[in-house]
Chains A and B, each alone.
Chain A
Amino acid sequence: MSDQTKQIAEIVKRVKLDLEISKKSDEYAQGQTRDIAISLSEKECEIDKAQVRGLENLANTTGKISEITDWLKIRIGRDTKGKKWRFKGIGQELLTALENLRTDAKQIAKTLSQYASDADFERRVHLQLCREFLMHVSAYYEYEQRNLEHEQSKKRTTNATAAGSVE
Chain B
Amino acid sequence: MNNLKNAQQMRRLLDQWSDNWQAEASRFAESHRDLMPRRITNSQLFGLVDKVRGAEQFHDVTAFLENQATKAERTGRYDVQEFWRQLKGQLSQLKTELKNLLKELPEQDNKKDKERLLILLAGEYVRHLLAQSLFFGVER
Q: Which of B9-17, B73-81, B93-101, B105-113 contacts A (4 or more CB under 8 A)?
A: B9-17
Q: Which residue from chain A places its CB closest to the CB of B13 in the assembled complex?
A: A120
Q: A70-B127, A120-B16 are in contact. Are A77 and B137 (CB under 8 A)?
A: yes
Asked if B11 and A76 make an inter-chain contact with CB atoms under 8 angstroms apart, the answer reads no
Most buried by B among A66, A67, A123: A66
Q: A76-B138, A120-B12 are in contact. Are A70 and B19 (CB under 8 A)?
A: no
A77–B43 CA distance with the chains assembled, in angstroms? 13
Interface size on B, residues (CB 8 A): 20
Contact with A along B2-22 (1 / 0, CB 8 A): 000000000110011011001
CB distance from B134 to the nearest CB of A (A): 3
A67–B21 CA distance with the chains assembled, in angstroms? 12
A88 at interface by CB-CB < 8 Å? no
Asked if A74 and B134 make an inter-chain contact with CB atoms under 8 angstroms apart, the answer reads yes
Q: A65-B19, A123-B19 are in contact. Are A70 and B128 (CB under 8 A)?
A: yes
| Interface class of chain A by DSSP | helix
CB distance from B37 to the nearest CB of A (A): 8
A86 at interface by CB-CB < 8 Å? yes
CB distance from A51 to the nearest CB of B (A): 16
- The B-contacting residues of A in range 68-95, CB under 8 angstroms, are 69-71, 73-74, 76-79, 86, 92
B residues apposed to A, CB below 8 Å: 11-12, 15-16, 18-19, 22, 42, 124, 127-128, 130-138
5 A-B contacts (beta carbon < 8 Å): A62-B15, A64-B15, A64-B19, A66-B128, A123-B16
